[in-house]
């Protein structure tokens, strides 16, 4: 037996397998498993620490301790005896304001959830309303004459107005947005001026309501409430009454639009594509329809004698008593034949034909016109008589225009 045969006949258990075992696969993937678990632990710990440190939450949220929240201001107001209640919807704010005797509403709509009608309803909830960081829709709805004035460039903004809360605050922290007001509007007061006709606070006071617009709502945040006179301004604006409704709208204030239609669910390219397909279909139909050319008249399979056609039309005229129509048919044929007999073209006018025929047959033109145009048959006998006269004129014209054979003379 050869060496090759002996090697092939060895038991299969002596062969070495190249497929890794489960233990070897786990040893190779151990590094990546440890790295993934470590990353997951770091993410969970960071999330917990961030939540505990208060770095999250919505801007100016009443119970948020984050730098952008307003928990510090709310706690100070509560210590001063002001009942601060947070509202997430317009209906909730209306209920809270209606239950209070002398409420104040603080409003901040960062995402612009409310419509113009909802903004108008919000401004009428309480005798005093403070709007922080109003957007364009809020300005146009609440006080249309107020506009945006840009960012303040003044290092220190002084009150310089008669609004009590602004006078007590005296000054605000530098920077921030501003609003502009018309110079001739006596109902509007601008405080904390910055540049020409730019103010950090605008107040509209009427007989029963006071509406205050704060251009930069971050002045009331935890991060800035302790700067300059921000705290004094906030406490005097929001603490004027015993109840404060802290209203920050949410997605629940967005009016429902019902079930979306098929057009709203389809992508925007569907409608133009359908229109293009319709236009292509119409163009293809016109193109294919013109390929065959104009219609071709097909000869009848039988030949009908003219006398039979004439008799059939005559019976129809007689059955409907259409004497004038029958006479007109005779006159049209006679005028065409007379024009050819007197040497006129088919395009010659009726007056030319009558004048030439009258000259040829030596009759007055009025008589010829009466027979060929003017006479109207009142009975069947009149129709027969006129047809005879037409035939007589045709015969006379034919005799007058037909040359005689050589050597023959009329008697």
pLDDT of 2-57, one tens digit each?
333 444 444 444 444 445 566 666 676 777 777 778 778 877 776 656 554 444 57
The per-residue DSSP string of 234-298 comes to HHHHHSSSSEEEEE---GGGSPP--SPPHHHHS-TTHHHHHHHHHHHHHHHHHHHHTTT-S----
Q: Based on the domain organization, do 135 and 225 belong to the same domain?
A: yes
Rounded CA gap, 178 and 198, in Å?
Answer: 6
Residues in Cβ contact with 35 at an 8 Å cutoff, skipping those fewer than 6 apart: none
Q: Based on the domain organization, do 209 and 334 belong to the same domain?
A: no
Alpha helices (H) along 290-322: 306-319
Q: Based on the domain organization, do 229 and 377 belong to the same domain?
A: no
pTM score of the predicted model: 0.53
Q: Based on the domain organization, do 233 and 110 belong to the same domain?
A: yes
In a domain, 287, yes or no: no
Q: Based on the domain organization, do 240 and 320 belong to the same domain?
A: no
Lowest model confidence (mean pLDDT) among 159-173, 270-284, 296-310: 296-310
Residue 284 pLDDT > 90, yes or no? Answer: no
Note the maximum CA span of the chain: 151
The pLDDT value given to residue 5: 41
In a domain, 377, yes or no: yes
Q: Based on the domain organization, do 239 and 324 belong to the same domain?
A: no
Pick from 221, 238, 253: which residue ends a domain? 253
The domain tally of the chain equals: 2
Joined together, the tokens standing for residue 99 give: 């239950």
Distances (CA, A) of 66 to 50, 69, 133, 199: 10, 5, 19, 28
In a domain, 335, yes or no: yes
Parallel, antiparallel, or unpaired: how do β-strands 177-180 and 147-151 relate? antiparallel
Residue 142 near residue 211 (C-beta atoms within 8 A): yes
Give the DSSP H or E segment for 65.
none
In a domain, 178, yes or no: yes
In a domain, 281, yes or no: no
Domain region containing 213: 71-253
Q: How many CB atoms lie within 10 A of CB 205?
A: 15
Joined together, the tokens standing for residue 340 give: 């050819």
Q: Based on the domain organization, do 195 and 120 belong to the same domain?
A: yes
In a domain, 271, yes or no: no
């Amino acid at each position: 037996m050869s060496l090759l045969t002996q090697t092939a006949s060895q038991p299969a258990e002596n062969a070495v397998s190249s497929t890794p075992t489960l233990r070897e696969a786990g040893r190779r993937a151990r590094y990546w498993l440890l790295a993934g678990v470590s990353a997951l632990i770091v993410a969970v710990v960071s999330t917990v620490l961030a939540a505990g440190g208060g770095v999250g939450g919505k801007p100016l949220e009443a119970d948020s301790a984050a730098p952008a929240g307003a928990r510090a201001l709310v706690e100070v107001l509560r210590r001063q005896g002001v009942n601060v209640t947070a509202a997430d919807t317009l209906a909730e704010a209306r209920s809270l304001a209606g239950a209070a005797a002398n409420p104040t509403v603080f409003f901040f709509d960062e995402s612009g959830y409310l419509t113009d009608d909802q903004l108008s309803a919000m401004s009428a909830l309480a005798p005093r309303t403070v709007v922080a960081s109003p957007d364009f829709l809020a300005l146009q709805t609440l006080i249309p004459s107020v506009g945006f004035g840009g960012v303040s460039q003044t290092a220190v903004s002084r009150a310089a107005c008669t609004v009590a809360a602004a006078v007590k605050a005296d000054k605000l922290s530098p920077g921030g947005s501003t609003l502009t007001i018309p110079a001739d509007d006596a109902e509007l007061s601008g405080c904390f001026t910055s540049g020409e006709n730019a103010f950090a606070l605008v107040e509209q006071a009427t007989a029963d309501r006071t509406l205050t617009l704060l251009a930069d709502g971050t002045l009331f945040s935890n991060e800035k409430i302790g700067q300059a006179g921000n705290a004094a301004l906030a406490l005097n604006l929001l603490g004027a009454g015993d109840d404060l409704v802290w209203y920050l709208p949410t997605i629940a204030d967005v009016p429902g639009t019902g079930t979306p239609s098929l057009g709203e669910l389809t992508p925007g390219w569907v409608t133009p594509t359908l229109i293009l397909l319709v236009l292509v279909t119409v163009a293809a139909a016109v193109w294919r329809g013109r390929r065959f050319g104009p219609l071709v008249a097909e000869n009848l399979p039988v030949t009908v004698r003219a006398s039979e056609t004439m008799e059939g039309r005559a019976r129809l005229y007689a059955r409907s008593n259409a004497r004038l129509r029958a006479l007109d048919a005779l006159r049209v044929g006679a005028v065409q034949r007379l024009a050819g007999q007197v040497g006129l073209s088919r395009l010659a006018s009726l007056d030319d034909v009558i004048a030439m025929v009258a000259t040829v047959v030596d009759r007055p033109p009025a008589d010829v016109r009466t027979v060929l145009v003017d006479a109207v048959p009142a009975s069947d006998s009149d129709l027969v008589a006129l047809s005879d006269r037409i035939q007589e004129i045709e015969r006379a014209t034919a005799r007058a225009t037909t040359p005689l054979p050589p050597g023959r003379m009329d008697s």
